[in-house]
Amino acid sequence: MKNRGILTKIYIALIMVFMYAPIAVLIFYSFNKSRSAAWGGFTFDWYIQLFKSSSIMNALTNTLLVAFLASFFATILGTAAAIGISNLKGKTRMLVQNASNIPIISPDIVMGVSLMLLFTFLGVLFNFEMGFGTVLLSHICFCVPFVVLNVMPRIRRMDSSLYDAALDLGCTPFQAFRKVVIHELMPGIFSGALISFTYSLDDFVITHFTQGARFQNLSTEIYGMLRRKIPPTINALSTLLFLVIIIIMVLINIRDRRAEKRKMSL
């Protein structure tokens, strides 16, 4: 048993090293004064140049704006879709639910090319070019199924009599929906919004096909830089993004633990 426990720990340690060693190297080189792989001294110059770079800052602003708007609208549409699907019955419900999962399991390149063809066709009809609007619509399109996927289990676990009880106690249908249904579904809604934001922030393939010539987000901007030469500012940017994600995860875990302690105390 002891040998098995030691092997398990070694196995987990090797996996962690395999996963995080590249990130550690990236963080290390973000402070390297030299542009080459050789260590040239410690510096914060790449972080200073990062914030002075107008192209990267504009791309970061576009990325965050699209991610916030896409997750916001996708959460509203996905929650409404999940509630609508739950009200269907029989084969119709199964068919619609399976259809909503198709964008999740289909390759990104298929969705990217299909959306590009759609926007190109509509652009010829209505005389517009692809850009911020087409990227936002594309991100909303592939984020909605993730919200549905997170909200549906909460709907299945919710007691349907709670809504009727709220109506019997004097709530209007809107009040009962807001105070009972939305309250019960909030963990799934929050998870769907967070996943939508993460996927929108991370997406490259769909954005690449639907961005047009004038719009750039962070992933496509970095891709353009990598095609020329890897600038050290990319190491600094990646380090900051990694730290932000770690901080968000820690805060979420702290919040969840406090919520569990409150439930235990009650």
pLDDT averaged per 10 residues, the chain (length 266): 76 90 89 81 89 88 93 94 88 86 87 92 88 93 92 87 84 86 89 90 90 86 78 86 85 81 75
pTM of the model: 0.85
Contact, 97 vs 85, CB < 8 A? Answer: yes
CA dihedral for 83, 89, 92, 94, sign (positive or negative): positive
State CA 250 to chain mean position distance.
17
Residue 127 per-residue DSSP state? T
- Distance in angstroms (rounded) separating the CA atoms of residues 235 and 191: 29
Q: Where is 243: in which H helix or E strand? A: helix 232-265
Q: Which residues contact 104 (CB under 8 A, 6 or more apart)?
A: 145, 146, 149
pLDDT of residue 262: 80
Show me where the domains of the chain are located: 57-230, 231-266
Task: Note the CATH architecture for domain 57-230.
Answer: Orthogonal Bundle (1.10)
pLDDT value of residue 174:
86
* pLDDT at res. 196: 92
